[in-house]
């Protein structure tokens, strides 16, 4: 018995709205959010940030690229309704991404297959559902796949023109606009060399449009900086082990691995109709996802229409739609990082959700303001953006978690100094106070490297400790608190 179209639409809307809300209105530890808010504030004040504005030690260090438009929007949302505004923006981006994925999958696949693919894929997005600019890339890449699917369905390159303004806007929202241009280029080039969806003449037009998409990545205040940033970002892994630039791992990313298996099985069972460009795009996305966990959602977004169409092919051979839905539900449950019921119980909104007391401390910020602590400060790496947003321009930070904001030798110097008390004294000589992250006592935190003979602890809670130099300009505060 066929399911009414209205029922499928209602199921999709409920799934999209529920998933977007559940993945957005929860507590999140995201150090980079605070930098994005600080930069958004500067952008809206008329200063597009092109240097390390918030730093005292490298204030003029160039910033090749920043997601200025996304940052401005996030700050405006925060200014209007605080943390709830940020969560709302995140939910809207996620909802747009999920709807566009479904739309691309529905272009050539049946509704039940598109719904099943979306249901499985939400678990891949979940670990990356944090308030950062890549949210815009989820939605933009899904829109890119809708455009490509329309090109394939019509057998003409003309719908691809929409990708040019899409990439131009995207380049102001997130660096992964480069991936959008790349996906269009792969599709167009492979179709020209090995036509499957387009006649040769249309393939040539598609390649021309792809070239314009590449140029569209320069339509932002940083120009070619978007590509310089990507190259620099790749080089960071040779210096420090950044979590999101490591390969995905089990069990946290089991939804990604399960989806890869499903994709491989579906393509193997229904190879008829698979085009070369589809294999190339899925293969490249899978390779990137297996190398960098931050790119795991790309595989789901670019392959969703292909998997849905192949599931439709299997349905014509007798695969029961009920089996598809049941299997999708089972895979969604198996791939979830947490029990499904937990996502509802973790519901939290507002400032407290963005500023969890385990890692951030409004009390510490109030103490700094009340006691008049100002000027250059040593800070743990994960607190740089937090201090910049809360205290700039009265306070200038030593470091933050955006590794492209400092020259490589800056972090090398910190790592060397962490092993030598004498080098550490030289490192922190320009500062008279420090803000340290107690839950994150790694080599870049400074925790345990400020001896009591020279430094006094003047504030401490579960998240943050503040120390001052006994012989420095805040030495009287040390005497007052002891």
The strand pair at 433-437 and 395-396 is best described as unpaired
CB 358 within 8 A of CB 29: yes
288 CB-near residues (< 8 Å, 6+ apart): 295, 298, 299
What's residue 155's pLDDT?
Answer: 93
pLDDT at 424 over 60: yes
Pairing of strands 375-376, 395-396: parallel
| CB-based contact 50:222 (threshold 8 Å) | yes
pLDDT attached to residue 2: 61
pLDDT at 73 over 60: yes
pLDDT at 62 over 70: yes
Strand locations in 212-295, DSSP E?
none
Give the pLDDT confidence score for residue 3 in this predicted structure: 65
Taking the mean position of all CA atoms in its chain, how far away is CA 264?
Answer: 26
Unique residue bearing structure tokens 């040769």: 200
**Contact yes or no for 390/78 (Cβ under 8 A):** no
Length of the chain measured in residues: 482
Domain ranges of the chain: 5-342, 357-481
SS3 319: coil
Summarised one tens digit per residue, pLDDT across range 232-280 is 776 555 555 667 778 999 999 999 999 999 999 999 998 888 899 999 9
Q: Tell me 429's DSSP state.
A: T
User: How far is Cα 53 from Cα 148, in angstroms, rounded to an integer?
Assistant: 40
Show the tokens assigned to 368: 């700094």
pTM confidence score: 0.94
Tell me how far apart the alpha carbons of residues 171 and 455 are, in angstroms, rounded to a whole number.
46
Distance from C-alpha of 142 to C-alpha of 158, rounded to nearest angstrom: 18
pLDDT of residue 273: 81
The pLDDT tens digits of the residues spanning 108-124 come to 899 999 999 999 999 99
In this structure, what token pair is assigned to residue 261? 């298996």
CB 161 within 8 A of CB 209: yes
Mean model confidence pLDDT for the chain: 92
């Amino acid at each position: 018995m066929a399911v009414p179209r209205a029922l499928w639409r209602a199921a999709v809307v409920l799934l999209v709205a529920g998933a977007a809300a559940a993945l957005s209105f929860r507590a999140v530890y995201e150090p980079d959010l605070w930098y994005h808010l600080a930069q958004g504030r500067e952008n809206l004040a008329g200063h597009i940030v092109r240097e390390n504005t918030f730093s005292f030690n490298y204030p003029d260090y160039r910033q090749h690229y920043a997601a200025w438009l996304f940052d401005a929007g996030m700050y405006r949302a925060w200014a209007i309704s605080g943390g709830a505004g940020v969560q709302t923006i995140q939910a809207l981006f996620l909802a747009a991404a999920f709807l566009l994925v479904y739309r691309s999958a529905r272009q050539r696949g049946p509704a039940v297959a598109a719904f099943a693919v979306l249901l499985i894929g939400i678990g891949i997005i979940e670990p990356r559902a944090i308030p950062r600019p890549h949210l815009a890339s989820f939605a933009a890449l899904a829109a890119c796949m809708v455009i490509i699917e329309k090109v394939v369905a019509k057998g003409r390159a003309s719908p691809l023109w929409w990708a040019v303004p899409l990439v131009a806007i995207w380049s102001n929202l997130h660096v992964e606009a480069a991936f959008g241009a790349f996906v269009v280029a792969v599709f167009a080039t492979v179709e020209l060399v090995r036509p499957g969806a387009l006649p040769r003449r249309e393939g040539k037009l598609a390649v021309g449009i792809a070239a314009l998409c590449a140029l569209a990545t320069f339509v932002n205040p940083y120009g070619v900086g978007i590509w310089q940033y990507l190259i620099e970002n790749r080089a960071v892994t040779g210096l420090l082990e950044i979590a999101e630039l490591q390969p995905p791992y089990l069990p946290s990313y089991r939804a990604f691995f399960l989806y890869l298996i499903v994709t491989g099985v579906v393509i193997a069972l229904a190879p008829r109709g698979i085009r070369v460009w589809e294999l190339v795009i899925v293969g490249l996305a899978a390779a990137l996802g297996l190398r960098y966990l931050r790119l795991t959602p790309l595989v789901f977004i670019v392959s969703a229409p292909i998997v849905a169409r192949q599931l439709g092919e299997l349905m014509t051979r007798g695969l029961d739609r009920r089996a598809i839905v049941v299997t999708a539900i089972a895979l969604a449950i198996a791939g979830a990082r947490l029990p499904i019921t937990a996502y509802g119980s973790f519901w939290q909104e507002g400032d407290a959700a963005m500023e969890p007391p385990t890692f951030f401390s409004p009390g510490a910020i109030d103490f700094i303001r009340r006691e008049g602590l100002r000027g250059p400060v040593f800070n743990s790496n994960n607190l740089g953006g937090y201090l910049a947003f809360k205290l700039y321009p009265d306070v200038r930070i030593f470091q933050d978690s955006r590794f492209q904001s400092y020259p490589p030798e800056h972090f090398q110097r910190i790592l060397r100094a962490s092993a030598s008390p004498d080098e550490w004294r030289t490192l922190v000589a320009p500062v008279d106070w420090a803000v340290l992250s107690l839950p994150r006592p790694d080599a870049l935190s400074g925790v345990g490297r400020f001896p009591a003979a020279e430094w006094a602890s003047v504030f401490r809670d579960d998240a943050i400790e503040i120390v001052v130099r006994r012989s420095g300009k805040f030495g009287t505060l040390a005497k007052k608190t002891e």
